[in-house]
Amino acid sequence: MTTPRPALVVGNWKMNGLLKDGLDRANLLAGRLGRAGRVPFELVICPPATLLWPIAEAIRGSPLLLGAQDCHAEPAGAHTGDVSAAMLADAGCRFVIVGHSERRAAHREGDDRAKAKAESAIRHGLTVILCVGEGSAERERGETFARVERQIATCLPAAASAVNTVIAYEPVWAIGSGRTPRPAEIEEVHGRLRAFAGSRLRDAAAPRVLYGGSVRRDNARDILSLAGIDGVLVGGASLDADEFWAIAEASIRRGERAGGTA
């Protein structure tokens, strides 16, 4: 049996965290990761933009990875209030979340904008975490696959590959609600997404597919042990370093079960 890819455990802090609070959380995670030695997961934190530089400095040399929550599609220019992918790379980011449903809803960002952002992120050496997911009305109408496949078909730029792009399946109704799809549903959507996205990536390889939406300490092990789950995108629960660490540790058993090494 081949060793599975390390699980990708991503914390999206959203608009939360002042300097001391953010540095404490990042230092705690970096310290634990350093003491843990070799682990079968990659840990990424996505703080708000104001904390990227100080956190990058604080975790320099640590395996803890840094990501951002959004980027503009242009590298620079007259875009008041925005941050470009070039700036994020300059600040030490390795990842950027693109197309999150909160950006889509609150900033009216459509698939075309997500594609342009993903394109710019890849051009500047970042790994894109592309969020897709259906709303509750689409789910009730049985349109989940149609929705997420359309998002993938429209949002993936030509340069996207399984190396520079990760897909995060986040049902909009599950985000921050405490509700999650049934395990079989998550497995089915992930299987289809991986095959569909893989056929559209330039290397035609299977991308990593994360699950996001109300992941907590108490459901992480069940979710991470589902077939075809390559990791999780965690919002609220990533604001508590102990809980986020417990979620990451839940992936260790997944690695052991699949024949990997911890």
Q: Which residues make up the interface to ligand PGA (CB under 6 A)?
A: 12, 170, 175-176, 212-215, 233-237
Q: How far is the CB of 168 from ligand PGA (least distance, A)?
A: 7
| Type of residue numbered 249 | E
For ligand PGA, the closer CB: 86 or 97: 97
Strand stretches in the chain, DSSP E = 7-12, 41-46, 65-68, 95-98, 127-132, 165-169, 208-212, 231-234
Q: How far is the CB of 63 from ligand PGA (least distance, A)?
A: 22
For ligand PGA, the closer CB: 94 or 202: 94
| Catalytically annotated residues | 100, 170
Q: Distance (Å, rounded) from C-alpha 231 to C-alpha 212?
A: 9
The number of helices, as runs of H, and strands, as runs of E, in the chain is 10, 8
User: Which residue, judged by CB position, is nearest to ligand PGA in the bound state?
Assistant: 235
Q: Which residues pair with 96 in a beta bridge?
A: 68, 128
Check residue 235 and report its DSSP letter. Answer: S
Backbone angles phi, psi at 43, to 5 degrees: -110, 125
Q: Distance (Å, rounded) from C-alpha 252 to C-alpha 118?
A: 30
Q: How far is the CB of 169 from ligand PGA (least distance, A)?
A: 11
Q: How far is the CB of 80 from ligand PGA (least distance, A)?
A: 25
For ligand PGA, the closer CB: 120 or 214: 214
Q: How far is the CB of 21 from ligand PGA (least distance, A)?
A: 17
What the block records as the tokens of 208 is 């990593």
**Residue 2's CB: how many other CB atoms inside 10 A?**
7
For ligand PGA, the closer CB: 83 or 239: 239
Instruction: Please name the helix (run of DSSP H) or strand (run of DSSP E) that holds residue 45, with its range, or none.
Output: strand 41-46
For ligand PGA, the closer CB: 87 or 234: 234
Whether 179 and 145 have beta carbons less than 8 Å apart is answered as no
